[in-house]
Amino acid sequence: MILVTSAYGNNGRKLIPRLAEMGLDIRALNLSDKINELKKLGAKEVIIGNALDLSILDQAMEGIESVFHVGSSFHPQEAEMGIAVIDAASKGGVEHFVYDSVLHPQIIELLQHRMKLRVEQHLINSNLNYTILQPMHYMQNINIEDVYQQGVFIQASALETPLSFVDMDDKVEVAAKVLTEDCHYGATYELCSDDNLNAIEIAEIMSRVMGKEIKAKLVPKDVIISGFQRAFPEYGDYPAKGFNALFDYYSKHGFIGNSNVLRMLLGRDPTTLEEFIGREYKKISK
């Protein structure tokens, strides 16, 4: 059986159905009560509880062979949660631990990278067979319908610095692969598409695909930060610190990766941002 943490998050909602279609048994661990929703996705069992609750983690690890753990980005206790899950997996005799981290966690100027680096280090120093996935920004973070309706692609970091992306569907394909093969123990995989684009170039691609002018627009950081804080008020002021550091870093340095590892794992070319935009645009233009 495979345990998926943060099971009703963006990753879990895509990964659980894929694993279920492969005939695998999934136990879902989620903070909020989404039992019916998770079972509809394909989870055989659902546990509701906090990843900092050791009794919940002990329960979650019973009979588990593999764990897929993704932390809650910009949560002030993300590192503590990840470490607790690793320790519980070790205690429970889990065979394989897959950790969903972030590309370039060694950039310690970025708070969420610092958190994930602590978890990576703890996992490497554990007695577990592990695989670490390091995905780039998800293409799915771009709301194509909003962009089309408003004619604007917004960004809170400098429009001229390049960023890279990865299609979450590609990442989930890799996650399912490493969870079901034992040849990935001890590996750390960078997951990135071929695209290293700035906001102006992205808007040009959107204009071409959508057949209308899309402009890149720089928005104040508070526009993004306030929306996140409204969604997660329990996180306090930590997300504001994290996002401010992130946007400042991106404006100065950009944030890019390399597609070689993802191409190897998929056995094909990774999805490009233009392909993703075209795929999502077809959904809203029917």
- First-to-last C-alpha distance (Å) of the chain: 39
Predicted pLDDT of residue 286: 66
Parallel/antiparallel/unpaired status of strands 163-166 and 96-100: unpaired
Task: List beta partners, residue 3.
Answer: 27, 67
Q: How far is CA 245 from CA 35, 120, 193, 234, 252, in A?
A: 36, 21, 24, 20, 11
Compute φ and ψ for 278, nearest 5 degrees.
-65, -40
> What is the residue whose two structure tokens read 């191409």?
263
- In sequence order, what are the beta bridge partners of 133? 100, 189
Structural contact between residues 135 and 100, judged by C-beta atoms closer than 8 angstroms: yes
Q: What is the pLDDT along the chain (286 residues), one digit of tens a residue?
A: 999 999 899 999 999 999 999 999 999 999 888 999 999 999 999 999 999 999 999 999 999 999 999 998 888 899 999 999 999 999 999 999 999 999 999 999 999 999 999 999 999 999 999 999 999 999 999 999 999 999 999 999 999 999 999 999 999 999 999 999 989 999 999 999 999 999 999 999 999 999 999 999 999 988 888 888 787 787 888 888 988 999 999 999 999 999 999 999 999 999 999 999 999 999 987 6
Domains, the chain, with CATH or none: 2-139+166-192+257-270 (3.40.50.720)
- pLDDT attached to residue 156: 93
Contact criterion met (CB below 8 Å) for 112 and 246: yes
pTM of the model as a whole? 0.94
Q: Given this model, what pLDDT does residue 225 score?
A: 84
**Helix H or strand E encompassing 171:** helix 168-179
Q: What is the amino acid identity at position 235? A: Y
